[in-house]
């Protein structure tokens, strides 16, 4: 069996308010399941501007804003199915 290059999702990253840890954990969990070959129907999407109102996705999808800044680069689809709303900046 190959050695994983992605850390196990149980790895902890500390942050006083937990924001970084939750985002890190979600991303690592997504990548870990992809690496293992689990069947996923999630996507990582690149966009310019906020994905709200322009990117349709499913709950759990990730959007990376190429022109984002602090607190506005990574978005997670938290609500709605096959809609272009429900994206939350992380």
The half-sphere exposure of 52 on its side-chain side, counting CA atoms within 13 A, is 13
Asked if 47 and 65 touch (Cβ cutoff 8 Å), the reply is yes
Q: Which residue has the higher pLDDT, 24 or 56?
A: 56
Looking at residue 88, its pLDDT comes to 95
Tell me the mean pLDDT in the region 47-58.
90
Beta-bridge partners for 64: 46, 74
Q: Is the pLDDT of residue 62 over 50?
A: yes
Looking at residue 74, its pLDDT comes to 93
Q: What is the DSSP letter of 57?
A: B
DSSP track, 4-41:
PSSPPTT-----TTSHHHHHHHHHHHHHHHHHHT----
Digit-coded pLDDT (tens) for 11-38: 454 555 555 566 666 777 777 766 666 6
């Amino acid at each position: 069996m190959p050695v994983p290059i992605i850390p196990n999702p149980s790895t902890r990253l500390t942050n006083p308010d937990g924001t970084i840890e939750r985002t890190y954990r979600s991303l690592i969990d997504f990548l870990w399941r992809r690496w293992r070959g689990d069947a996923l129907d999630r996507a990582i999407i690149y966009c310019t501007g906020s994905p709200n109102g322009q990117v349709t996705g499913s709950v759990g999808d990730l959007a990376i804003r190429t022109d984002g800044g602090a607190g506005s680069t990574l978005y997670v689809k938290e609500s709605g199915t096959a809609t272009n709303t429900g994206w939350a900046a992380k």
